[in-house]
Amino acid sequence: MTNMTDRPLLSIVFATYTAERLKDVFDLLESIGRQTYPALETLAVVDRTAESAALAGALERYIKEHRTGNVRVLLNDGATGANASRNRGIEEAKGEIVAVVDDDVVLFPDWAGEMVDSYRLDSSIAGVTGPAFPLWEDRRMSWFPRELYWIWGGTVWEWNEVREIRNVGGMNCSFRREVLLAAGLYDAGIGPKEGFEQAGWFRLGGDEVELSLRIRRKFKEARIIYNPKVRIYHKAYSSRFNWRFIAKKSFRFGYTKHYIKELFQADFSGRPVLGMEYDHLRHMLLRVPVRLLKEFSGKPVLTGRRFLTILFSTFFTGLGYCAYALRLVKKGS
């Protein structure tokens, strides 16, 4: 990997697909405009849908009216889906570093500066990620157990130090552009297409995990780090706050994890590729019940709700994991 310039250009890429998210996209663009790091470009890629032309037009008008900085709106006229759109943006990006975020996040003002500074720590750093905090649409949702923040595109880790990590978080990440191009970009065959609600239960996700591990396979010396100062908020919608959404998200999470294990376990000789997930599962099975028991006497209803939600999600995660394993058995028979 080549050495970076003193003030590298950071390209921020995000995909969007529906006018229902316009307010979210505007909030994201406003947060990009408040960044303290100046060397930025933004590429907003509109996925190919029935409303893509209207959506692109609305974004162009907003950028013109608000005199938003170095922002380009691109139309994805190829394969549909978030990953295909991200790839379109990455191919057009000019920055040495390419950041990829979701269209419903809000960046902390020092996000870009911290992202760029992370690469100065070590020339072997190929990717950077950081924490995502749920931004609850309704404060009544905030009781949700932190151990399951991943359901809302949040992070469950409470690390306060920079550390190496297996993969980036897809809603808040960046890579060296040269590394992305050499590794082959995102796999357009997996990941979201036209929103979570439209995708089936057996739709594979984990696109950021697959890409991170493919980069590590291609570049043996490559490191991916977590920087707790690379912070974002990720919006959590009340319309999704229901048991069906939690069940489907958990099922697909487990289903995808077995897929990742199938693809990359051979690269992790002597240790499990899903080590992070196993550690988190042990935490939920051994430590969380003890904590909840201590909290039960003071807040029995709230604690009981959290406990049942964790059990519910864990059950469907396991069900999804077993479903993919069964698929492999049928495939091999």
222 closest CA partner among 191, 262, 178:
178
| Euclidean distance between CA atoms 312 and 307, whole angstroms | 9
pLDDT score of 198: 60
Residue 331 pLDDT more than 80?
A: no
**Per-residue model confidence as pLDDT tens digits over 227-254:** 999 999 999 999 999 999 999 999 999 9
Residues shown for the chain? 333
Q: Which residues of 74-83 are buried (b: 16+ CB within 10 A; e: fewer)?
A: bebeeebbbb
Residue 310 pLDDT more than 90?
A: yes
pLDDT band at 4 (very low <50, low <70, confident <90, very high): confident
Q: Which residues of 248-284 are buried (b: 16+ CB within 10 A; e: fewer)?
A: bbbbbbbbbbbbbbebbeeeeeeeebbeebeeeeeeb
pLDDT band at 197 (very low <50, low <70, confident <90, very high): low
pLDDT score of 3: 79
**Per-residue model confidence as pLDDT tens digits over 24-37:** 999 999 999 999 99
DSSP H helices in 219-299: 243-264, 275-282, 288-296
pLDDT score of 2: 75
Phi (first) and psi of residue 119, to 5 degrees = -75, -15
**Per-residue model confidence as pLDDT tens digits over 148-192:** 999 999 999 989 999 999 999 999 999 999 999 999 999 999 988
25 closest CA partner among 141, 125, 107:
107
Q: At what angle are helices 243-264 and 207-218 packed, to 10 degrees?
A: 20
Residue 45 pLDDT more than 60?
A: yes
Residue 193 pLDDT more than 80?
A: no
**Per-residue model confidence as pLDDT tens digits over 251-302:** 999 999 999 999 999 999 889 999 999 999 999 999 999 999 999 888 999 9
**Per-residue model confidence as pLDDT tens digits over 78-127:** 889 999 999 999 999 999 999 999 999 999 999 999 999 999 999 999 99
pLDDT score of 274: 97
pLDDT band at 6 (very low <50, low <70, confident <90, very high): confident
Residue 196 pLDDT more than 60?
A: no
Tell me what the mean pLDDT of segment 221-225 comes to: 97
In the chain, CATH 3.90.550.10 sits at 1-240
| Euclidean distance between CA atoms 208 and 210, whole angstroms | 5
Residue 333 pLDDT more than 60?
A: no
Sheet hosting strand 97-101, strand order edge to edge: 71-75, 40-46, 10-16, 97-101, 172-176, 125-129, 223-226, 163-164
pLDDT score of 195: 61
| Tokens representing residue 261 in the block | 């294990």
Indicate the CATH number for domain 1-240. Answer: 3.90.550.10
